[in-house]
Chains A and B, each alone.
Chain A
Amino acid sequence: MTDRPTLSLDPALIERVLAEALATGGEFADLFAEDRRATTFTMEDDRLDRLQLTQERGVGVRVVANGVTGYAYADGWDEAGLLSAARAARDVAHAPAPSAQVSRLIPVEAGHAPRPARPAEWATIDERAALLERANAAAREAGPEVVQVTVRFADVVQRVLIASSDGTLAEDERRVVQMMTAVTAERNGVRQVGRRARGGQLGLELYDRHAPEILGRETADGAIRMLDAIPAPAGTMPVVISNGWGGVLFHEAVGHGLEADHIERNSSVYAGKLGQRVANPIVTLIDDATIPNHRGSYRVDDEGVAGQRTMCVVDGVLEGYLTDRKHARALGLPTSGNGRRQSFQKLPIPRMTNLIVQPGPSTPEEVLADTPRGLFVVSLGGGQVDTTSGQFVFSVTEGYLIENGRLTVPVRGATLAGDSFSVLARVDAVANDFALDPGLGTCGKQGQHVPVGVGQPTLRVSEMIVGGTAGGGA
Chain B
Amino acid sequence: MTSKILIVEDSRASRELIAATVESIPGLEAIPSSSGLEALKLLPQHDFALIITDINMPDINGLELIRFVKSNPALRDTPLFIITTEGRETDRDRGLALGAVEYLVKPFSPRSLEELVRRYLQLA
Q: Does chain A bind chain B?
A: no
Interface of B toward A, CB cutoff 8 Å = none
